[in-house]
Amino acid sequence: MNLHGSPMRYLCLIYIDAELRRTQSQAEFEACVAEQRHYLATLQSQGHGVAAHALQPAETATCLQVRNGQLSTTDGPFAETSEQFGGFFLIEAHDRAEAMRLAAQIPLARFACVEVRPLYLLSRLANAAVLQQHGRHERRRRKPGWSVPQGRSCRPCRPPPAGV
């Protein structure tokens, strides 16, 4: 659970052996895709599935960087490795244990690596920082002899300026 008491989102990154995909027949590939779709539908019916997508082969990638205002691009994957990022499932779970249980049931986990990571929701990240600051203020305030100067308040606890 997050600070708001709602389920956390986890990104299940699927890394697959590039050689395995190259040696797979079209029928095997289509069966694998069907199995992934079925599992996503199952997750969605249970309130855990948000999205799932597969990526085209790494050779179709273009990497870009902007340094000092200059854009540079490179065709191909960022790194040459035997395992490549092949897709993901975005799930919601109440805790890490539940996320791991759901990720372990991803059909590709039988022959790929599934990395499970909790997400920061950018819309809530700023609020979490304010709550964290407020928690530090509250701990400090409880120390003997400490007080907020008269007419001032904890910056994170102040109401927003009028008109905001």
- Three-state SS annotation for 101-155: HHHHCCHHHHCCEEEEEECCCHHHHHHHHHHHHHHHHHHHHCCCCCCCCCCCCCH
Per-residue pLDDT at 156: 47
Per-residue pLDDT at 122: 75
Pairing state of beta strands 62-67 and 8-17? unpaired
Residue 83 lies in a domain: yes
Residue 115 lies in a domain: yes
Contact 91, 43 (CB under 8 A): yes
Please indicate, yes or no, whether the overall pTM of this predicted structure exceeds 0.85: no
Residue 133 lies in a domain: no
Contact 12, 116 (CB under 8 A): yes
Per-residue pLDDT at 42: 96
Residue 159 lies in a domain: no
Residue 162 lies in a domain: no
Residue 155 lies in a domain: no
Q: What's the pLDDT tens digit per position in 32-64? A: 999 999 999 999 999 999 999 998 888 888 888
Contact 116, 99 (CB under 8 A): yes
Per-residue pLDDT at 56: 87
Query: What's the chain's length in residues?
Result: 164
The rounded Cα 7 to chain-centroid distance in angstroms is 13
Per-residue pLDDT at 58: 82
Question: Could you give the number of structural domains in the chain?
Answer: 1
> What is the extent of the structural domain holding 98?
8-122
Residue 142 lies in a domain: no
Q: Which residues of the chain have pLDDT under 50?
A: 148-150, 154, 156-159, 164
Burial (0-12, 13-18, 19+ Cβ within 10 Å), 34 = exposed
CATH number of residue 95's parent domain: 3.30.70.1060
With CA atoms as reference, report the closest residue to 47 among 12, 9, 14: 9
Give the percent of the chain with pLDDT over 70.
Answer: 70
Residue 129 lies in a domain: no
